[in-house]
Structures are given as structure tokens and as C-alpha cells.
């Protein structure tokens, strides 16, 4: 209803401005809706159902790695502390661009050990990894034919991405390539196009961007998808046709390739969602450092949440100030993401030598310990439409139908309330760690139960209870009295 209304209002607004025509279309559920004709809007309504996308949907947990030249200053320049995100230090007034642009001459990460990174990610329980091939600064971690500003011209002198892809592939962790369209190094890059000269320059930048993307997919054909960033500029928002064609070319190069909603704008420069409110790309990429509160917030789309460990640091910053998330908080975000049909991607920022900092290593170990025991509640799991309770989150395995209660707020009396749909019976209820134990289930009202966990309380890490529901008609048992209110 909402989107029909929004579409209609937009359509009227746009036709009023003489920009588009209104056509009648049918939504997937066959209800008529008013749509604006778009050449470069969403090309698919509803979530992808192919096997590659199903794998993506079932990952649950991912690892993001932000690594580049910004790791060398690590949030400092000439002894001064930079309070912004470390990977943005080049834009700081206290650090001259010329100084930043010479950093590649110092890039020589002697501790870089891709196999060790991959092993750590594996033991944390990550099913996929996203690596910054090129951040906003334009420095390429792969040998690019199309620029001199790459690893081969650093003292390190060789490819970073290839060995990483190989190491993660060997651990069975799918690799995704982060790519910033915005590029502070390319002479043709513009944030807006004001003059004819700008437009000409930008054409060379577009060609360069296309070359680099096709180059990456050619060099690393096991890539499962691309994670785009830096696509918010006015100049890029005019490139609907170019980006649409390039997206098609990339998809042809690797069939099944997964691309989120941050790549291309539509005909009117709208991003993520086109002018009709339909998602562009395979999943919503708008959940950066934040989470949806409810399933309605996700609009039923696939989505990922990428999250930093401190408040806002992606690249390595040697001096984390402010709150640093604990493994408890990160696990809660992971579970919440899965409970709302999303993937959770935790960021790592290795230092200039290629070492992963102690804080991240510690968190990876703690999350791994929890995942080791409880991964059944994460992998292959998603949203369940039961009323959310204060103790935590439900997840449901998409194949087996098993339901998991992941408890973050254990009530002092150990009694967990569950409210279920009328046609469902709770069936077997047991702790994930102790499947032979049947927990006491007390019916307190029609379709409402207390699961008694008081004799099981022992650990202080989030506990998982497994429900194997049955769908047979319920026995008419207890007498219920309707309150007269």
C-alpha cells in the first residue's frame, strides 16, 4: 500500500515535470500498481532464487577487510592524532595530499600472511570475505594494467589480491571484491560534471573504471560478487545507462555474480531503490554500521550489515578511542541480522605491516568459540514470524524448519516466554548444547508457553534453545476463558 502510494506520488511529480510517463504494471502478487517507465531501474522484482544467491543468503557471518595505504599512517600524521576514519586521512587538512600520495613508496607489509588470515576467518566462522581491492585513494592492491598506482610499484612489488583469493578459496570461504568507484587518484575523476572539460575527463574515468572491473573479474574468476562503494557523487548519479551496461557485462563475465544495491543509479539518479521503490541489485546495501529494527524495515529484501569494531574505523587506526564493541555485542548483532534475513559482516583493519591487531584477533577467537558450539542457529537460518520476545531472537533453518531461540537476556527466573501461531505445536524443546535434555514447557495461555530453563543456567554466553515444531492440529485441552473487557 505504502509503495503504491509513493509510486503514484512520484509518478505524478515526475510527469508534472515532463520527465517520465506513467504505465500500469502488476506487482509480483498480481495487484496492479502505478509505475514510472524506467530503462535502468530494477530488473528483477523479489529476491533471487538461484543457487549462488541461496549460498549468499545462508552465509550468516562474513569478514570485511579494509587494507590499503592508510594503514601506514594508522590515523596519525607527524605525531598528530586524526579523529576521523583512518582510511579517510588523506582528506584531513593536516595531512597534505602530496604526503599521502607518496605512501605507496613505503608499502611493504612483511607480515602479510594470507593463509593465516584465512585460517583465522575460518575459525571465527566466517563464510565469506570482502576485501578492499581499491579504496577511495585509488591505490590498487592488485597489479592493474590501467594505472601505475598499484602494488607492483610499491616496495612490496607483488599482487595482494591473488594470494588472498587463493588462501580463502582453500578454506572454503567465498571471496567478494570491494571496489570504490570514487577514485581520488585518477585524473579524469570528478564528483560533479559542470563543464564540457569535466564531461570529457569523466569519459576517460568511466572507461578506466570499466577496464579495472573487467580486469579484476578476469584475474580472479572465483570471485563470487562485488561490493561497491563511493557511488554517491552527482557525476556517477548521471551514469544510469553506462552503469547498467557495465553491470550486465560483469554478470556475463561471471555467471551468478552477486552485486548489491550500491552500484548503479536509475534514470533519475535514484540509488539503492529505483524511482518506483524497487531494489536495484541483488541485495540491499544500505545497512552500514546500523541494523534494521523489524522485518518490515527490510521490506523483505536480502541485505547485509557491515560493521566496524570501534564506532567508525574501517582502516587501521593505531589509537582506537571511544567504545570498542565486545564479542557479546557483535554476536548479538550477528544473531539479530540473521533473525531478520540478513548477513552480518565484521570488519578487520590490518596494520601497515600486514598484521591483524590483537583486539580483532581476540574478538575473532571469542566469536569463533561461540560459533563453534552454536553455528547451527546461524548458517542456513533466517527470519521466523513469531512475536519477538524480550529474551532475544528467533532464527529458523530454511531447510529443516528447526527453530532456534538465541537468548541474550536470560530472565532472572529462567522462564522464557514463547507465543506461537495457533496451528503450531512446540514439539521437542532442548538446549542446543544438550540435545538429550527436554526442557519443561508450561502452557500458560492459549498459544503461549513458558520454557523453563532455570536448572540449565550455567554459562554467561548467549544460550541457544532448539525447537522442533510440529504442525499437526492441536489437541483441544485446557479450557480458556475469554476476558470480558
Query: CA 317, CA 310: separation in Å to the nearest integer?
Result: 10
Kindly tell me which of 66 and 190 has the beta carbon lying closer to ligand 1KN: 66
Q: Which residues contact 443 (CB under 8 A, 6 or more apart)?
A: 449, 477, 478
- Contacts within 8 Å (CB) and 24+ apart, 48-53: 48/282, 48/302, 50/256, 51/256, 52/224, 52/256, 52/257, 52/258, 53/256, 53/258, 53/282, 53/302
Cβ distance 77 to 90 under 8 Å?
no
Kindly tell me which of 85 and 464 has the beta carbon lying closer to ligand 1KN: 85
- Contact residues for ligand 1KN, defined by CB under 6 A: 66, 85, 87, 229, 288, 306, 314
Of 222, 279, 231, 276, the residue nearest 254 (C-alpha): 222
Q: How far is the CB of 462 from ligand 1KN (least distance, A)?
A: 27
Of 290, 267, 60, the residue nearest 298 (C-alpha): 290
Q: How far is the CB of 34 from ligand 1KN (least distance, A)?
A: 33
Kindly tell me which of 345 and 371 has the beta carbon lying closer to ligand 1KN: 345
Q: How far is the CB of 198 from ligand 1KN (least distance, A)?
A: 22
Q: How far is the CB of 134 from ligand 1KN (least distance, A)?
A: 11
Kindly tell me which of 66 and 224 has the beta carbon lying closer to ligand 1KN: 66
Kindly tell me which of 38 and 330 has the beta carbon lying closer to ligand 1KN: 330
Q: How far is the CB of 385 from ligand 1KN (least distance, A)?
A: 31
Q: How far is the CB of 217 from ligand 1KN (least distance, A)?
A: 21
Nearest position to ligand 1KN, beta carbon: 314
Q: How far is the CB of 86 from ligand 1KN (least distance, A)?
A: 9
Cβ distance 469 to 426 under 8 Å?
yes
Query: CA 81, CA 251: separation in Å to the nearest integer?
Result: 43
Of 427, 431, 422, 428, the residue nearest 386 (C-alpha): 422
Q: How far is the CB of 131 from ligand 1KN (least distance, A)?
A: 12
Kindly tell me which of 127 and 135 has the beta carbon lying closer to ligand 1KN: 135
Write down the residue that cell numbers 546495501 correspond to: 285
- DSSP code at position 169: H
Alpha carbon of 381 to those of 171, 197, 269: distances in Å? 22, 52, 35
Q: How far is the CB of 169 from ligand 1KN (least distance, A)?
A: 23
Partners of 448 in the β-ladder: 419, 445
Kindly tell me which of 230 and 462 has the beta carbon lying closer to ligand 1KN: 230
Kindly tell me which of 85 and 165 has the beta carbon lying closer to ligand 1KN: 85
Cβ distance 278 to 45 under 8 Å?
yes
Give the residue ranges of DSSP H helices in 226-326: 234-237, 240-253
Query: CA 142, CA 74: separation in Å to the nearest integer?
Result: 21
Tell me the torsion sign for CA atoms 32, 33, 36, 38.
negative
Query: CA 237, CA 228: separation in Å to the nearest integer?
Result: 14
Kindly tell me which of 319 and 448 has the beta carbon lying closer to ligand 1KN: 319
Amino acid at each position: 500500500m505504502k509503495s503504491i502510494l509513493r509510486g503514484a506520488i512520484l509518478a505524478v511529480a515526475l510527469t508534472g515535470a515532463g520527465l517520465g510517463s506513467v504505465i500500469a504494471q502488476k506487482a509480483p502478487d498480481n495487484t496492479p500498481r502505478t509505475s514510472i517507465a524506467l530503462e535502468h531501474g530494477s530488473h528483477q522484482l523479489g529476491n533471487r532464487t538461484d543457487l549462488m544467491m541461496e549460498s549468499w543468503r545462508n552465509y550468516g557471518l562474513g569478514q570485511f577487510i579494509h587494507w590499503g595505504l592508510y594503514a601506514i599512517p594508522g590515523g596519525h600524521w607527524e605525531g598528530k592524532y586524526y579523529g576521523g576514519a583512518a582510511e579517510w586521512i588523506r582528506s584531513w587538512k593536516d595531512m597534505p595530499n602530496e604526503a599521502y600520495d607518496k605512501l605507496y613508496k613505503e608499502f611493504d607489509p612483511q607480515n602479510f600472511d594470507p593463509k593465516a588470515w584465512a585460517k583465522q576467518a575460518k575459525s571465527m566462522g566466517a563464510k565469506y570475505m570482502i576485501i578492499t581491492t581499491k579504496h577511495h585513494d585509488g591505490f590498487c592492491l592488485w597489479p592493474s594494467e590501467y594505472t601505475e598506482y598499484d602494488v607492483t610499484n610499491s616496495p612490496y612489488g607483488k599482487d595482494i589480491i591473488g594470494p588472498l583469493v587463493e588462501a580463502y578459496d582453500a578454506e572454503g570461504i567465498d571471496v567478494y571484491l570491494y571496489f570504490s568507484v570514487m577514485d581520488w587518484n585518477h585524473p579524469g575523476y570528478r564528483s560533479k560534471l559542470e563543464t564540457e572539460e569535466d564531461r570529457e575527463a569523466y569519459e576517460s574515468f568511466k572507461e578506466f573504471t570499466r577496464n579495472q572491473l573487467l580486469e579484476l573479474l578476469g584475474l580472479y574468476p572465483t570471485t563470487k560478487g562485488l561490493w561497491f562503494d563511493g557511488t554517491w557523487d552527482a557525476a556517477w548519479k548521471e551514469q544510469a545507462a553506462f552503469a547498467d551496461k557495465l553491470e550486465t557485462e560483469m554478470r556475463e563475465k561471471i555467471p551468478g555474480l552477486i552485486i548489491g544495491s550500491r552500484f548503479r543509479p536509475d534514470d533519475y539518479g535514484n540509488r539503492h531503490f529505483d524511482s518506483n521503490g524497487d531494489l536495484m541489485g541483488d541485495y540491499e546495501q544500505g545497512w552500514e554500521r546500523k541494523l534494521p529494527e523489524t522485518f518490515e524495515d527490510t521490506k523483505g529484501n536480502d541485505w547485509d550489515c557491515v560493521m566496524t569494531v570501534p564506532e567508525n574505523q574501517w582502516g587501521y587506526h593505531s589509537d582506537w578511542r571511544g567504545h570498542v564493541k565486545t564479542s557479546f555485542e557483535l554476536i548479538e548483532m550477528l544473531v539479530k541480522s540473521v533473525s531478520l534475513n540478513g548477513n552480518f559482516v565484521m570488519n578487520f583493519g590490518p596494520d601497515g605491516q600486514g598484521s591483524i591487531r590483537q583486539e580483532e584477533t581476540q574478538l575473532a577467537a571469542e566469536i569463533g568459540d561461540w560459533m563453534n558450539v552454536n553455528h547451527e542457529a546461524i548458517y542456513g537460518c533466517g527470519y521466523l514470524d513469531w512475536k519477538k520476545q524480550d529474551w532475544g531472537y528467533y532464527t529458523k533453518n530454511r531447510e529443516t524448519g528447526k527453530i532456534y531461540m538465541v537468548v541474550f537476556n536470560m530472565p532472572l527466573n529462567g522462564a522464557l516466554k514463547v507465543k506461537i501461531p495457533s496451528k503450531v505445536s512446540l514439539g521437542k524443546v532442548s538446549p542446543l548444547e544438550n540435545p538429550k535434555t527436554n526442557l519443561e514447557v508450561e502452557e500458560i495461555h492459549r498459544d503461549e508457553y513458558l520454557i523453563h530453563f532455570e536448572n540449565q543456567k550455567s554459562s554467561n554466553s548467549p544460550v541457544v534453545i532448539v525447537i522442533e515444531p510440529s504442525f499437526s492440529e492441536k489437541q483441544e485441552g485446557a479450557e480458556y476463558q475469554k476476558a470480558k473487557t
